[in-house]
Protein backbone atom coordinates (compact mmCIF):
# COMPACT_ATOMS: atom_id res chain seq x y z
CA UNK A 1 0.00 0.00 0.00
CA UNK A 2 2.86 2.36 0.85
CA UNK A 3 4.44 1.64 -2.50
CA UNK A 4 1.16 2.55 -4.19
CA UNK A 5 0.98 5.85 -2.33
CA UNK A 6 4.59 6.69 -3.15
CA UNK A 7 4.04 5.83 -6.82
CA UNK A 8 0.92 7.95 -6.92
CA UNK A 9 2.69 10.89 -5.31
CA UNK A 10 5.63 10.64 -7.70
CA UNK A 11 3.48 10.48 -10.79
CA UNK A 12 1.34 13.34 -9.58
CA UNK A 13 4.36 15.49 -8.74
CA UNK A 14 5.93 14.92 -12.13
CA UNK A 15 2.71 15.59 -13.91
CA UNK A 16 1.83 18.62 -11.84
CA UNK A 17 5.02 20.23 -13.07
CA UNK A 18 3.75 19.57 -16.56
CA UNK A 19 0.35 21.12 -16.02
CA UNK A 20 0.08 23.80 -18.65
CA UNK A 21 -3.19 25.09 -17.41
CA UNK A 22 -1.97 27.42 -14.71
CA UNK A 23 -3.60 30.76 -14.14
CA UNK A 24 -1.67 34.03 -14.27
CA UNK A 25 -2.79 37.26 -12.67
CA UNK A 26 -2.50 40.29 -14.92
CA UNK A 27 -3.34 43.94 -14.33
CA UNK A 28 -6.10 45.18 -16.62
CA UNK A 29 -7.73 48.54 -17.21
CA UNK A 30 -11.49 48.85 -16.75
CA UNK A 31 -13.62 51.75 -17.94
CA UNK A 32 -17.35 52.41 -17.63
CA UNK A 33 -18.88 53.91 -20.74
CA UNK A 34 -22.55 54.12 -21.58
CA UNK A 35 -24.18 51.01 -20.21
CA UNK A 36 -21.17 48.74 -20.58
CA UNK A 37 -17.94 47.88 -18.86
CA UNK A 38 -14.89 48.01 -21.14
CA UNK A 39 -11.53 46.32 -20.63
CA UNK A 40 -8.11 47.02 -22.05
CA UNK A 41 -5.39 44.41 -21.78
CA UNK A 42 -2.99 42.37 -23.87
CA UNK A 43 -2.43 38.68 -24.39
CA UNK A 44 0.98 39.05 -25.99
CA UNK A 45 2.33 36.25 -23.76
CA UNK A 46 0.31 33.83 -25.85
CA UNK A 47 2.97 34.08 -28.53
CA UNK A 48 6.44 32.75 -27.85
CA UNK A 49 9.22 32.99 -30.43
CA UNK A 50 8.09 29.91 -32.31
CA UNK A 51 4.49 31.07 -32.47
CA UNK A 52 5.62 34.50 -33.61
CA UNK A 53 7.65 32.90 -36.41
CA UNK A 54 4.56 30.92 -37.32
CA UNK A 55 2.82 34.13 -38.34
CA UNK A 56 4.97 34.05 -41.47
CA UNK A 57 4.21 30.42 -42.36
CA UNK A 58 1.55 31.22 -44.93
CA UNK A 59 -0.99 29.24 -42.90
CA UNK A 60 -3.57 31.12 -40.85
CA UNK A 61 -2.81 31.80 -37.17
CA UNK A 62 -5.98 31.92 -35.13
CA UNK A 63 -6.47 33.25 -31.63
CA UNK A 64 -9.67 32.29 -29.81
CA UNK A 65 -10.39 34.42 -26.77
CA UNK A 66 -12.96 33.73 -24.09
CA UNK A 67 -13.62 36.43 -21.53
CA UNK A 68 -15.88 36.13 -18.55
CA UNK A 69 -16.66 38.35 -15.60
CA UNK A 70 -17.57 36.79 -12.29
CA UNK A 71 -18.11 37.92 -8.75
CA UNK A 72 -15.76 37.13 -5.91
CA UNK A 73 -16.83 34.00 -4.02
CA UNK A 74 -18.78 32.65 -6.95
CA UNK A 75 -18.12 30.55 -10.00
CA UNK A 76 -21.16 31.82 -11.88
CA UNK A 77 -20.11 34.34 -14.53
CA UNK A 78 -22.34 37.33 -15.10
CA UNK A 79 -21.09 37.84 -18.65
CA UNK A 80 -19.25 35.73 -21.18
CA UNK A 81 -17.78 36.97 -24.43
CA UNK A 82 -15.85 35.16 -27.08
CA UNK A 83 -13.99 36.44 -30.07
CA UNK A 84 -11.84 34.91 -32.74
CA UNK A 85 -9.01 36.65 -34.53
CA UNK A 86 -6.95 35.38 -37.42
CA UNK A 87 -3.98 36.48 -39.45
CA UNK A 88 -2.55 35.04 -42.62
CA UNK A 89 0.63 35.94 -44.46
CA UNK A 90 0.50 36.39 -48.22
CA UNK A 91 3.83 34.99 -49.33
CA UNK A 92 3.58 36.66 -52.73
CA UNK A 93 2.43 40.16 -51.73
CA UNK A 94 4.34 39.94 -48.43
CA UNK A 95 1.48 41.40 -46.48
CA UNK A 96 -0.64 40.21 -43.55
CA UNK A 97 -4.40 40.01 -43.73
CA UNK A 98 -5.85 40.23 -40.23
CA UNK A 99 -9.42 39.80 -39.07
CA UNK A 100 -10.08 40.86 -35.50
CA UNK A 101 -13.57 39.43 -35.39
CA UNK A 102 -15.70 37.31 -37.66
CA UNK A 103 -17.71 40.17 -39.10
CA UNK A 104 -14.90 42.75 -39.03
CA UNK A 105 -13.41 43.82 -42.34
CA UNK A 106 -9.99 42.38 -43.04
CA UNK A 107 -7.07 44.70 -42.30
CA UNK A 108 -3.81 44.62 -44.22
CA UNK A 109 -0.57 45.26 -42.39
CA UNK A 110 3.05 44.97 -43.44
CA UNK A 111 4.99 43.95 -40.37
CA UNK A 112 4.62 40.89 -38.14
CA UNK A 113 4.69 43.18 -35.10
CA UNK A 114 1.59 44.97 -36.36
CA UNK A 115 -0.13 41.67 -37.03
CA UNK A 116 0.78 40.46 -33.56
CA UNK A 117 -0.61 43.64 -32.00
CA UNK A 118 -3.90 43.26 -33.82
CA UNK A 119 -4.17 39.65 -32.69
CA UNK A 120 -3.28 40.17 -29.05
CA UNK A 121 -4.49 43.62 -28.04
CA UNK A 122 -7.80 43.81 -26.30
CA UNK A 123 -8.51 47.54 -26.52
CA UNK A 124 -11.57 49.05 -24.98
CA UNK A 125 -13.53 45.87 -25.44
CA UNK A 126 -17.05 45.63 -23.93
CA UNK A 127 -17.21 42.70 -21.52
CA UNK A 128 -20.34 43.19 -19.41
CA UNK A 129 -23.45 45.26 -18.94
CA UNK A 130 -23.09 47.69 -16.07
CA UNK A 131 -26.57 46.80 -14.92
CA UNK A 132 -25.23 43.34 -14.04
CA UNK A 133 -22.49 44.72 -11.80
CA UNK A 134 -23.83 46.17 -8.56
CA UNK A 135 -21.90 49.02 -6.95
CA UNK A 136 -19.12 48.12 -4.48
CA UNK A 137 -19.27 44.38 -5.17
CA UNK A 138 -15.93 42.83 -6.06
CA UNK A 139 -15.52 41.14 -9.43
CA UNK A 140 -12.82 39.48 -11.49
CA UNK A 141 -12.33 39.17 -15.20
CA UNK A 142 -10.88 35.93 -16.49
CA UNK A 143 -9.56 35.41 -19.96
CA UNK A 144 -8.53 32.31 -21.79
CA UNK A 145 -6.72 32.60 -25.10
CA UNK A 146 -6.00 29.63 -27.34
CA UNK A 147 -3.59 29.85 -30.21
CA UNK A 148 -4.76 27.73 -33.13
CA UNK A 149 -7.37 25.81 -31.16
CA UNK A 150 -8.23 22.37 -32.37
CA UNK A 151 -11.89 21.45 -32.51
CA UNK A 152 -13.12 18.54 -30.44
CA UNK A 153 -14.11 16.74 -33.62
CA UNK A 154 -10.54 16.95 -34.87
CA UNK A 155 -9.10 15.80 -31.55
CA UNK A 156 -11.48 12.87 -31.65
CA UNK A 157 -10.41 11.98 -35.15
CA UNK A 158 -6.71 12.18 -34.35
CA UNK A 159 -6.98 9.85 -31.37
CA UNK A 160 -9.59 7.55 -32.84
CA UNK A 161 -7.09 4.86 -33.69
CA UNK A 162 -6.58 4.39 -29.95
CA UNK A 163 -10.04 3.05 -29.38
CA UNK A 164 -10.28 0.89 -32.45
CA UNK A 165 -10.41 -2.72 -31.49
CA UNK A 166 -7.47 -4.89 -32.38
CA UNK A 167 -10.04 -7.49 -33.35
CA UNK A 168 -8.93 -9.98 -30.74
CA UNK A 169 -10.83 -13.08 -29.75
CA UNK A 170 -11.95 -11.63 -26.40
CA UNK A 171 -15.34 -10.18 -27.05
CA UNK A 172 -15.79 -9.47 -23.36
CA UNK A 173 -12.92 -7.02 -23.40
CA UNK A 174 -14.41 -5.09 -26.27
CA UNK A 175 -17.89 -4.83 -24.91
CA UNK A 176 -17.56 -4.80 -21.19
CA UNK A 177 -14.03 -4.01 -20.17
CA UNK A 178 -11.49 -1.28 -20.52
CA UNK A 179 -8.04 -1.54 -21.98
CA UNK A 180 -4.53 -0.80 -20.91
CA UNK A 181 -1.72 -0.79 -23.37
CA UNK A 182 1.73 0.59 -23.88
CA UNK A 183 3.15 2.18 -27.00
CA UNK A 184 4.70 5.37 -28.18
CA UNK A 185 1.69 7.57 -27.67
CA UNK A 186 1.94 11.04 -29.13
CA UNK A 187 -0.89 13.34 -28.33
CA UNK A 188 -1.85 16.65 -29.82
CA UNK A 189 -2.76 19.50 -27.56
CA UNK A 190 -6.16 21.17 -27.91
CA UNK A 191 -4.28 24.32 -28.92
CA UNK A 192 -0.72 25.27 -29.86
CA UNK A 193 -0.56 27.45 -26.79
CA UNK A 194 -3.00 28.40 -24.06
CA UNK A 195 -2.92 31.48 -21.87
CA UNK A 196 -5.19 31.82 -18.84
CA UNK A 197 -5.16 35.13 -17.07
CA UNK A 198 -7.21 36.70 -14.36
CA UNK A 199 -7.55 40.39 -13.66
CA UNK A 200 -6.92 42.10 -10.39
CA UNK A 201 -10.11 42.38 -8.33
CA UNK A 202 -12.22 45.35 -9.32
CA UNK A 203 -15.45 47.05 -8.28
CA UNK A 204 -17.69 49.90 -9.33
CA UNK A 205 -17.51 52.68 -6.79
CA UNK A 206 -20.94 54.01 -5.93
CA UNK A 207 -21.51 57.53 -7.28
CA UNK A 208 -21.10 60.23 -4.66
CA UNK A 209 -24.38 61.85 -3.65
Partner 1 sequence: MRVLVALLVALVATSARADVPPPAAAAGEALHEDKEFGPVILIESIEITGNTATQTEIIRRALPIQPGDILHASDRRMREVRFKVLALGYFRDVTLGMHKGSARGQVVIEIHVVERGTFVLNRLWFGTNELTPYWIGTDVGERNLLGLGIAVGGGLIFASHGLVQGSRDQWAGELRISDGALRGTRWGANGALTLVHGSEAYRVAGTSGTAPDEFRAFPYRRFGGRWGVTYDITTLARLSAGYRLEEVDTQLPVAPTQELPDGRVVGIDLHLRPGESRIATAQLGFDRDTRPDPILPHSGGRITATAEIGSGALGGSYNFLTVFARYEHWFPLHDERHTIGFRLAGGVVIGDADRFDRIHISDVDQLLTPRAMGLVLSNAAPLDILGTRPDKPSYGDLGGTATVEYAARLFRGIGKNRVYGGDLFFGAGLWGLAEAEDLRLRDRALWSSLPIDIVADAGVRIDTELGIFELTIGNALGRLR
Using CB under 8 A as the binding rule, the residues of this chain from 162 to 191 that contact partner 1 are 162-190
Residues 7-26 that bind partner 1 (CB under 8 A): 7-9, 11-12, 14-21, 23
Closest by CA to 34, choosing from 149, 130, 133, 154, is 130
Q: Give CA 42 to chain center in angstroms.
A: 13
Q: How far is the CB of 183 from partner 1 (least distance, A)?
A: 4
By the rule CB under 8 A, 60 interacts with partner 1? yes
Query: How many beta carbons lie within 10 A of that of residue 152, not counting itself?
Result: 9
Cβ closest to partner 1, residue 35 vs residue 153? 153
Which of 109, 112, 121, 196 lies at the binding interface for partner 1 (CB under 8 A)?
A: 196
- Give the three-state DSSP class for 10: helix
Which of 27, 35, 92, 209 lies at the binding interface for partner 1 (CB under 8 A)?
A: 92
DSSP designation for 181: -
Residues 34-53 that bind partner 1 (CB under 8 A): none
User: Residues of 62-81 as b/e, b for ≥16 C-beta within 10 angstroms?
Assistant: bbbbebbbbbeeeeebbbeb
Which of 29, 45, 48, 90 lies at the binding interface for partner 1 (CB under 8 A)?
A: 90
Q: How far is the CB of 209 from partner 1 (least distance, A)?
A: 34
The end-to-end CA distance of the chain, in Å, is 67
State the number of binding residues for partner 1 (CB under 8 A): 96
CA angle, 118 as apex, 115 and 123 as ends, to 5°?
A: 160
By the rule CB under 8 A, 77 interacts with partner 1? yes
Q: How far is the CB of 112 from partner 1 (least distance, A)?
A: 15
Amino acid sequence: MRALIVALLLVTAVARADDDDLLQVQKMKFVERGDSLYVTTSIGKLFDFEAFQGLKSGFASTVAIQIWVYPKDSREPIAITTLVRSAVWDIWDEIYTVKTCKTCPAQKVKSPAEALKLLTSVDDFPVAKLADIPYDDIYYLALRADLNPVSKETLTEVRRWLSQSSGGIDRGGVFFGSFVSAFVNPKIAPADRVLRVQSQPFYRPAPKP
